[in-house]
Structure 1
Amino acid sequence: MGDAEELIAGGGFGIPYTETDQPAPVSQTVQAVYEAVRDVFESAGVPIPRIGFEPGRWLVGTAGLNLYRVVVRKEVPIQEPPGKRTYLSVDGGMADNPRPQLYGARYTVLNASRLLDEHDAPFRVSGRHCETDTLAPEAMLPSATAEGDLLAFQCTGAYTQSMASNYNRYPRPPLVCVEDGRAYLMVRRERLDELFLCEMEVLPCPQK
């Protein structure tokens, strides 16, 4: 402990994924970590090291969003509570954002095609993959949300593109930067043929 010049305390700074999220202020978290480290090092009688943090999500999380197009809207009868649930199936899912399936991540969802409409009707947004691919179990959207509308999942700037995969043989989507009303392509969309670049020609099995 006495030779430590720098201690990296990790990240964990929260961001408001939904309207009900109330992450602690960064200053509060930093102060709490500093005091805990200070107490340990002072009790050991050694100098307090320089303390570093990894605020990646806090820096870029709110800067990104995922856009999905509604492909199918349908109503499905449910038993509990009795009634119907309206599903929106979109053109993406757990391959481009596995967080909802991995650990129940929740997002604020807006209908980018009807931003001025009241978002007061519940929908279940489902992806296109063969698992139970639920992106949002209860997204509040305009009741007139229709096939072809664009849905914007907020705060996906961190741990989304970096976790994307080619599950179900889907190419990864592009990444676009928007600044001052202009759009710049940062990462192009993968092509289907690129998914097979690493596959080798199958050799015949040796005959006995």
Structure 2
Amino acid sequence: IPEADIAIVVNVHPDIIFGLLPVLKENGYRGIIGGSERPQELPFGLRVQLAEEASKIDLESAFAKPFCALKPDPAMPTISAFMEKARFGKPKIEILTQKSREGKETILAANVIRSAPCGSTWYVAKRMTGLETDQEDLRERISEAHHAYPCTASMDQDQELKDTILHKAGYIIREAVEDAIQRAERMEPTDSGTFSGSGRPRVSYDQRGDE
């Protein structure tokens, strides 16, 4: 087993994961992260059991369905530190807007603070640039961007979620964009024209508390 602090397991049989826990501990690992992208992968009961077994040997653990629902947990400091450093987990975005016409604001930049493990957050954020924050089809545009990216979540119905995992992932990124709009930094209008590419302003990244 290679030297590392954290193991990430995806699409691995639970029996193997249970057997892996003590091996990871013996080899100096401090935590394990797992994601469920299909209905048959790591159902709720198994995720609870894995977390309990990991806790017994003082091994941090974090399991989520879908994988992009993974949130930092103060009780798991090593995993949380990794998520902050890698900007990995439940999507979090910052948005910069500017008044474009009477009563309207346009998204100038959408920057990723934390991305879904599959990377789709970066793609969705890029596609938000140029949209108005209150346009009628905003949710549809978010959904289109998410579906245009090869999300790894299944389209099969999941009994635990009462929906498909792909749809749940779509709701998560939609909430991230809508939350970012509520927190948006607003820039005063200028006559410098539209922003694009390297000329587009960036929202500064700082060490905010996780949400």
Provide the TM-score with structure 2 as the length reference: 0.26
Bigger helix fraction? 2
TM-score, scaled to structure 1 = 0.26
* Greater radius of gyration (CA): 1
Normalized per residue, the structure richer in strand is 1
